[in-house]
Amino acid sequence: MANTGPQDDQLAQSDSVGAGKHNRHHYGSCTAPDAQHPGGHQRLPNRAQSPSNSNTFNELCPYTETDPLLPNVHMPGSKVNEVMEKDPEDCSAQDGVREMPSESVRSMVLQILVPFLLAGLGTVSAGMLLDIVQHWEVFQRVTEIFILVPALLGLKGNLEMTLASRLSTAVNVGEMETAREKWSLIIGNLALKQMQATVLGLLAALAAVFLGWVLEGYMLLNHAALLCSASVTTAFLASLLQGIIMVGVIIGSKRIGINPDNVATPIAASFGDLITLAILACLSQGLYECIELYPYVSYLVCLFFLGLTPLWVVVSSRNPASRILLYTGWEPIITAMVISSIGGLILDTTVSDPNMVGMIVYTPVMNGIGGNLAAIQSSRIATDLYHHCPPRQVPEDRRSCYNPCRTFCGSGANHRSSQVLLLLVVPGHLIFLYTIHLMKGSTSPTPVFITFFLAVALLQVFTLLCIADWMIPCLWRMGKDPDSYSIPYLTALADLLGTALLVLAFFLLWLVGEKVPTGD
């Protein structure tokens, strides 16, 4: 017995150190007072031991805004837990977290290029559709719908791209290894997204009603009900369809070995604009035709989708990751919706300006491409921080005052990706401009028009990448989850910057007397 004492002490000390390493990257805010890591880090109870322990821990330590959405503690039976328990030396990264595989520039470009082109073609189609439906009766009589357009199209950044970024990070840090943890995370996030889409759709409609009342001085009650009903229904249906597509993309990327950070966010936007705009146009026209004979239809449709909100709250609250966002995830998406609505106000005031004829076709392309590229970079930086940095700590080069050269000058993975994304702007927009020319049957864009258009597009993407490089480490340092906070802000800023810069470009074209190709 005397001989086994030291061995037991060594084993206990070894287990304590190993557990401390395993939980070092758990970003919760609740700690046991006596659970100190030998290196100075507090160690959390291992919630992966049993479901009952997890429930008790959640009751004693409620989640707060500083908790992460994807903690590095896995559910029972996780393959990642098994690997770490059997062969902890097999992990190349420190503290029991697997190092992300190296990624060449060629591989990065190939993975980004196809989804980027698909997303661009989706925004081109949305622009062409918007050019057609702007002449429909409902768009002519209820012009506040134009204020809704950027806000509803921006939902793909607020919700779909955010979901894509969260699930991409979950795949890369090993949170979707077992069927149980995978579907718990997916169902919880989808239910949360439906609830957020319903609420945001209503808020966007109320903002459009208010801004329309400010501009016109009056607002018909039936028109206000039409805006609310069309906005809520569009947000709900578009979010449901895109969410299902997004889950398939994430799972498919994981199975074939593609980094989902490179493909998920642009694919989320590929047909998001087209789907959302098509649903909005058809619903608005249908509800408008019912106003005279059946004015109560708009109220009933809106109340039906709002009545489903408690169901989504109950379902999403069953998953810890989505339960956090029920209370703390509203700030970025509501702020982003307000920013996008300001872009919609600019669009509404310029759509009837004869000097801005043709701008509406290019607006979804400009806004969508900028938001897609910024979202890719945001997702990559967030995943990098999850892998290499403890909570509230950032690398040394991120602690000094921000310098734009830091974003593009360097040999790191994030530097290379920002260079690649910026270089894609010119050839990508040239392809999309030529596609618009072919689809509209317009005269070929002049060199002056192309120069002005590409100049504002480069300025938009350059600004967004710089903001992403500055914003995400700041969010991480404040303890906020960058996957959920950064993309809504970036895509909303892409809408506002894109619309404003496009207005500037068209104004300069008018000053120099350049004719904009508008089609036959």
Per-residue pLDDT of the chain (520 residues; tens, 9 = 90+): 444 444 444 444 444 444 443 343 333 333 333 333 333 333 333 333 333 444 433 444 444 433 444 443 433 333 333 333 434 333 334 444 445 555 677 777 777 887 788 878 888 888 888 888 888 988 888 888 888 888 888 776 677 777 777 777 777 767 677 777 778 888 888 888 898 889 989 998 998 888 888 877 777 888 899 999 999 999 999 888 888 887 887 778 778 777 776 776 666 666 777 888 899 999 999 999 888 888 889 899 999 999 999 999 998 888 777 787 777 768 888 888 888 888 888 888 887 777 777 788 888 889 888 888 888 888 888 878 877 777 777 776 666 677 677 777 766 777 788 888 899 999 999 999 888 888 876 667 888 999 999 999 999 999 999 898 888 888 888 878 787 788 888 888 998 999 999 999 999 988 888 777 665 4
Give the C-alpha separation, 356 to 506, whole Å: 6
- Tell me, rounded to whole angstroms, the distance of Cα 133 from its chain centroid: 27
From the number of C-beta atoms within 10 Å of its C-beta (0-12, 13-18, 19+), residue 299 rates as middle
Nearest to 195 by CA among 340, 330, 299: 330
Nearest to 245 by CA among 364, 164, 150: 164
Give the C-alpha separation, 35 to 56, whole Å: 17
- Tell me the DSSP string of 82-101: HHHHH-GGG--SGGG-PPPP
- What sign does the CA torsion over 162, 165, 169, 171 have? positive
What pLDDT was estimated at residue 46? 37
Residue 419 CB contacts under 8 Å (≥ 6 apart), including other chains: 408
Burial 89-124 (b: 16+ CB within 10 A, else e): eebeeebbbbebeebeeeebbebbbebbbbbbbbbb
CA 63-67-70 angle, to 5 degrees, is 110
Eight-state DSSP code of residue 36: B
What pLDDT was estimated at residue 460? 94
Whether 153 contacts 495, CB under 8 Å: yes
Burial 377-405 (b: 16+ CB within 10 A, else e): bbbbbbbbbbbbbebeebeeebeeeeeee
Residue 34 CB contacts under 8 Å (≥ 6 apart), including other chains: none
Whether 372 contacts 266, CB under 8 Å: yes
What pLDDT was estimated at residue 446? 86
Give the C-alpha separation, 377 to 382, whole Å: 9
Whether 160 contacts 200, CB under 8 Å: no
Domains of the chain: 104-134+353-519 (1.10.357.20), 136-338 (1.10.357)
Residue 361 CB contacts under 8 Å (≥ 6 apart), including other chains: 127, 128, 130, 131, 436, 440
Task: Report the predicted TM-score, pTM, of the whole model to 2 decimal places.
Answer: 0.67
Nearest to 494 by CA among 377, 383, 416: 377
What pLDDT was estimated at residue 268? 64
Side-chain-facing half-sphere of 238: CA atoms under 13 Å: 36
The letter for the amino acid at 331 is E
If DSSP codes are grouped into helix, strand and coil, which group holds residue 42?
strand
What pLDDT was estimated at residue 442? 63
CA distances from 402 to 64, 159, 398, 469, 470 (A): 29, 28, 8, 9, 7
- Output the furthest CA–CA distance in the chain (Å, rounded): 96
